[in-house]
Homo-oligomer: A and B are copies of this chain.
Amino acid sequence: MTNNEIKYLRSLSKKKYRYEHKKFLIEGKRIVDQLIRSDYQIDKIIITQNFINKHPKHILFSSNLDYQIIADKDYKKIKNTDNSQEIFALVPIKHSFNIPDDIKGPLLILNNISDPGNLGTLLRSAAWYGINNIFLSTGSVDIYNPKVVRSSMGAHFYLSNLFELDTDNIITILNSKKIEVIAATLDGTPYKNISTSNNWALILGNEAHGIDNDILQLSTKQVSIPQKGNMESLNVAVAGSILIDRFIAK
């Protein structure tokens, strides 16, 4: 691998270069497995000889995909985490800025989620429950941040309607659609007393500051998860996933 190629792959750990090149790099066996099983475009798969020795029956080798074998010293320069397991894939950033005219619920609105692990976990839960439409407000952590990608476990490859939008855009779109907008708040109506069609949007807010006021005003209902113990709150990825479970698997 040339120094320029290494430099290019390393640059993708920075948001600026990811968007300049419209690419992101994924790392680790389970997430590359998910990628190969999906229909997502793959630009390049990169492994070490040691990966082949360790995993001779990996799904990669029974696929028709090409791969590049790199030296150990190059692997060490590229990896972003100790858990890269000597396998990477280079894939395009595909999220679009054109909202489909017929967009409808279920829709997840993520308002300034700041922790990468929380955002990745929410994308993973959305993909598990078959929720395809996600609006992410521009104050949130970047969808292609390596830590987000890692904790999403490949959800990116299934979420075809993943949009990063500013607050004004979110408001304009939701005002023009007949989607029931429900905000998750600590003092909302218990989920058992809320009934919805499948045409809903669920708003989840920032870990420390909750939902922005102008986004909150879009909601016609507020929902909460009944507290049984003494904790002040649940983790936002947990709370969001519990509400999705309650709304989807009624």
Question: Which A residues contact B (CB, under 8 angstroms)?
Answer: 30, 33-34, 37-38, 117, 121, 124-131, 151, 153-155, 158, 192, 208, 225-235, 237-238, 241-242, 245-246, 248-249
Cα distance A121–B233 when bound, in Å? 11
User: What distance in Å separates the Cβ of A186 from its nearest Cβ neighbour in chain B?
Assistant: 11
Contact A235 B121 (CB under 8 A): yes
**Assembly CA distance A34 to B232 (angstroms):** 8
Residues from chain B with a CB closer than 8 A to the CB of A230 are 37-38, 127, 130, 158
Contact B117 A231 (CB under 8 A): no
Residues of B within 8 A of A127 (CB): 229-231
Whole-angstrom distance between the alpha carbons of A226 and B192 in the complex? 19
How far is the CB of A210 from the nearest CB of chain B, in Å? 13
Oligomer copy total:
2
In addition to A125-B234, A238-B238, A241-B241, 13 A-B residue pairs with Cβ atoms within 8 Å of each other are A30-B208, A34-B231, A121-B235, A126-B229, A127-B229, A128-B228, A131-B229, A153-B231, A153-B232, A158-B230, A192-B249, A238-B241, A242-B242
Contacts of A129 in B (CB 8 A): 228-229
Do B158 and A234 touch across chains, with their CB atoms under 8 A apart? no
Chain B residues near A117 (CB, 8 Å)? 117
Tell me whether B235 and A151 are in contact (CB under 8 A).
Answer: yes
**Do residues B249 and A226 form an inter-chain contact, with CB atoms below 8 A?**
yes
A130 near B245 (CB under 8 angstroms)? no
A125–B30 Cα distance when bound, in Å, is 26
Within 8 Å CB of A246, what residues of B? 245
A126: chain B residues within 8 A (beta carbon): 229
List 21 interface pairs A-B (beta carbons < 8 Å), by A numbering: A34-B232, A37-B230, A121-B235, A124-B238, A125-B238, A126-B229, A128-B227, A128-B228, A128-B229, A130-B229, A131-B229, A158-B230, A158-B231, A192-B249, A235-B237, A237-B237, A237-B238, A238-B238, A238-B241, A241-B241, A242-B242
Q: Which residues of B contact A38 (CB under 8 A)?
A: 230
Taking CB as reference atom, which chain B residue is nearest A39?
B230
Out of B124, B130, B155, B233, which one reaches A228, CB within 8 Å? B130
Residues of B within 8 A of A37 (CB): 230
Q: Which residue of B lies closest to A230 (CB)?
A: B158
The answer to whether A153 touches B121 (Cβ under 8 A) is no
